[in-house]
Structures are given as structure tokens and as C-alpha cells.
Chain A
Amino acid sequence: MLQLVLFNLFNGLIIGAFYVLLALGLSMILNLSNVINFAHGNFLALGGYFAYVLIPYIGFWPALIVSPLLTAVLGLIIERTMIRRIYGRDPIYSLLLTFGLAFMIQDACRYIWGVNGLPLTTPASISQPLSQEFFFLTGYRLFVVGIVIIAVAGLFAFLRYSRMGMRIRAGVLDLDTVSALGINVRLLRSLNFAGGIFLAGLAGVLAGGQIGLNPNMGDSLLLPSFIAIIIGGMGSLVGTLLGGLLIGVAAAITTMFYASASDTIIYVIMALVLLVRPRGLLGEEGML
């Protein structure tokens, strides 16, 4: 029994790591641009499909970097042509826009790659369980966790130590002042948006290797990622990190005892957290 609980704890952390990756990208965009990106899960799917197309030509490892980059470029184009036009308007319009984008991308994926699931081939070197005992720690899942740790560490270092990162953090706190100081806010937002989409694309390649690709693959991940942000508290990337891990573990432990509620438990947790701490675990000021 104890062993089972420990297994599920670890397993939950692995699941949670995945939410973290998606939630961080969402959170970046939400914090700086005040845009709720409902198309984030569809950018994730795009990242996976790009990898599917690229792997036969360039192999898995390059595709792991190139596909998210392509997704980010697409995100940049969309930001420059569409998202930009709703900055400063009531955030509810970003909802209509990103819902529309979500529908369009999802249907485009269906049209191009079909409704049936497609497999994403991962290198044999990371596809096996590592040990008989800890069978759920497959090489691939540990690899995913490793990538998430690198991405998170990279993102935090970037925000803390690079000039650009400091500007982004400042912009989250007070965009007007940053703008008044002569910093190009438009460029800042564009790059920040592209960065968030890059993380979504990366998550897409990783998810594709685990469960394969289908046009709706991002749907079931999107809402839990939002919840991770909210539980952690908006504006705090550390909070997002905590929130993602928390819901992953909660879902896994719930599966042990009452599996059919494993979807619902994360909503219950969110409701409880917000009733006790209206701004989430580490959040400060609400927006929208």
C-alpha cells in the first residue's frame, strides 16, 4: 500500500510536470499581454504535427527543437497580425479571438492529417522502462521530466538575469511605466508571446511521443493548465509550477482510491484553494 502511494506520488509529479510546461507558456502570455489564449492547446497539437512531418527528414532530436521553433514563428505571425489588435481592449475579446483561432487550427489539423490518431516515433534508446520494479518510470517519461526541468530553469534564469527577461518582469508589474521608460513594449509582447507558444510546441512534441497525435490532443490538457495557473496564483511563475505539480499528484492519488473522480478532483481543489485564498497560493493582484 505504501509502495503504491509512493508510486502514485512520483507518477503524479511526472504528470504534473507536463501541465507545468503548458501552463508556463499560458501564464507568460496572460501576465504580460492580458490575453487568455484558448488556442494554446491547438498550438501544442501543431508542434506535435510539425514534428511528425519533420522526423523522417531530420530525426527526432533536431525535430524536438525545430518544431517548437516553427510553431513559435507561426505564433509570432498570428500575434503580429491579429492578437496585437486587441491589446488594451477588454480581455473578453481575446477570448473570442483565441476561440476562433482554436477552431481554425483544430480543423486545419483534421483537414491535413485526418481524424485518426498518428504515432510519433521516439528513439528506441528512451522508449523502454528503466527497471522491472519502477516500470512506470520509462526512459521517455524521465526524459520528459528532464526537458521540463531544463525548460523551467532556462525560463527562470532568462527572466531573472537577462535584460529582456527583466523587462518582461517589469512589464508584468507595470506596463505603462516600462513603456514610458522608452522600452519597445510591442516587441516585448511579441517575443513573449512567441516564447509562450514555443513552450506549447515543445509540449506537443513530448505529448505526441507519449500518446500520439490527434487534432483534439490539446483540449484535455488546456483546462488543467489554466487551473494550475489559478491555483498557483496569477503573476507568479513559481505558483504555476507548484499548481501544476499539485494537480498532477492529486489526480494520480485520486485514481488510486476513486478513479472516476480523477478528472473532477482538480476542480474541487481549485474551488477550495480559491475559497481560502482568493488570489491563489502565491498570487497577488487579479486581472481581467
Chain B
Amino acid sequence: MSNKVLMKGNEAIAEAAIKSGCLYFFGYPITPQTEISEYMAKRMPKVGGLCLQAESEVAAINMLMGASAAGSRAMTSSSSPGISLKSEGISYIAGCDLPCLIVNVQRGGPGLGGIQPSQSDYYQATRGVGHGDLRILVLAPSSVQEMASLTAEAFDLADEYRMPAMLLADGALGQMMEPVDFSVFPKRELAPKTWATNGLKNHEGKKNIINSLFIDPNELENSVIERYKRYDIVEEKEVRYEEYLTDDADIVLVAFGITARICKSAVTELRNQGIKAGLLRPVTLWPYPKKIISKLADHAKAFISVEMSMGQMVDDVRLAVNGKRPVYFFGRTGGIIPSVEEVICETTKISETL
């Protein structure tokens, strides 16, 4: 018998979180991710958990900080404008070395923008998610199955490296329905949270302090350097990506999330037309799969970053290619999803110049 159930992407995130032992959800309604809150509100009381609707995104992220500081596996979710509000809290959580999951089901921006799918928070997620020297893990699902499996993975990664993880989805993935199998998630061996502030009687030794303040600049510099050593390990060990027909590709499309699925269809059709196209799909946006892109640049003649934005990830492709090959960009923004035909047309035009 199949273990698969048909679910919306947003619901798959929520169910996967609960199945991963997350019993605390702090949210605030915003389209197109509200189903996560609604699903949590229904399910959490039945599994002994809590779904709490906060008065704001700011409050929700700080409730999450408190839950995580006390040692609980917990999460919040929002969509683009709400993530901007959470930015302060994410910086504090990173500065306090706390693990948690933040879901961003992206919509178009800037400002109130729109409610249709977008990938225009790439910079925010990978560059400017909060003030200060910090990184967060960023995972980009491209199917409802991955909405679930990467949610599970993100919790474990966050716990292992004591840092926030973000699931960077979009409105299309959040709203679409696909079969999901929840029985296939690997689990990591995780160390007990001896650092948690849950009362002296619950941990050994002296009191625990969760804090991001260091008045002495030398102390602050040292704490940041220590954290960056952990980031180095993440960059070494936790990069994820998928390759499709890249071995002999002349032209490599680079795309993540829903856009990667469009590009996969385009690559298949381009091959039928005799154009040697391939696809590299980053699954982790931080750490970014720069080594494989650099390696592909040894044989591929050109790269195209395809995005639902005005071109943000293209910067990371350029950094990885490092001038070895030309890097092009194609994208639609404002909530418009690029079509397979558009991607084929752009790729064909570029391939003719090679």
C-alpha cells in the first residue's frame, strides 16, 4: 500500500513539522501561507501541541525565540512582508545561537506587493535577513514532497548547528496539491540541549544565559568568529543540489524552487531540439552550491540564472563561475511565473551566440 497522501504544499509543511516533533507554532495570518496556521490550529491540540496566533509577526518571532531558548523545537511561518517584520528577531535568534524554523512562502514585492508567487526575497534570505554578521540555513523546496522533507531536514540542521533555518518556498508551492510520503525522512542524532534556559533544576552546572550582547568589542568579535567556524562546517558538509543533464551540457540553467521545475521541462524540450542544455537546481541557497557551479564552468559554455525576480541569485552564479564563462539572467517578477516556452526561447537565443 502506498504511503502517499494528496496535500497542499502549505499543509505538507505543517504536517511534516508535527511529524518532526515540532509541537509549538507561533504565527500571524498572511496570504499565501495562512493554511499553515489553519492546519496547525486544527492539528496541534490533538497532538498535545500549541498553535498560538500572535498579535504581530514581531511578537511571533520573539515567542519562537523564547520557545527555542527554553529548548523546544518550534517554528513560525509567514510571507514576504511578514518576514521583513521578523527580521529583528531572526538576528537576535542567530546572535543567541538558537535553532528554529522560519518558513517564507514568498509573494511579490516590494512593499505590500502582491499575493502571487515570487522568488524576490532571495537577497533577503541569503544576504540580509537581519542586522549584523550572520548566516541562516536556507532550503528551497521545489515540490510538495520537498516542502515536507526539507521541513524535517531543516529542523535537524538547525538543531545540529544551533542556527535558524529558513524554508524558502513560494505561493505556487504553498497552494498546489501533490502526493506526499511522510514515511521517508531521515533523522539525525542530535546532542541534548544542555544550553537551554528552562530552569536550573533541568540542567547541570551553573545558570544558563541566552544573550547576544557583548559590550567589549574583542568579546563580540570572538563570538562572531566562533560562529563563523560553525558556518564553515555547514558550507563544507551541508550543500545540497540536484543536477539534470549537466554532464555534457553546453548551457546550464540554474534555478531553484518552482522555477527549477519549469526549467527541467525546458531542458528536456531543448535536448529534443538538439540544444545541449542542462539544469543545476540548488536545494540549499545557503550554503550555496558554488563548488559544483565552478566545476561545471570548466566545460559548460554559458549559464543562465532563471528566477521569479529581477535577478538576485544570478549574483551567486556569477560569483561561483568567477568570470570563467558568461552568465545570463532571465526572469519574470511581480507574481508572474515564467513559462516553459519563454525559457526555451531565451535559452535558444543565447545558445545561438555560443
| Pairing of A with B | no
User: B residues engaging A (CB < 8 A)?
Assistant: none
Which residues on A are within 8 Å of B, measured CB to CB? none
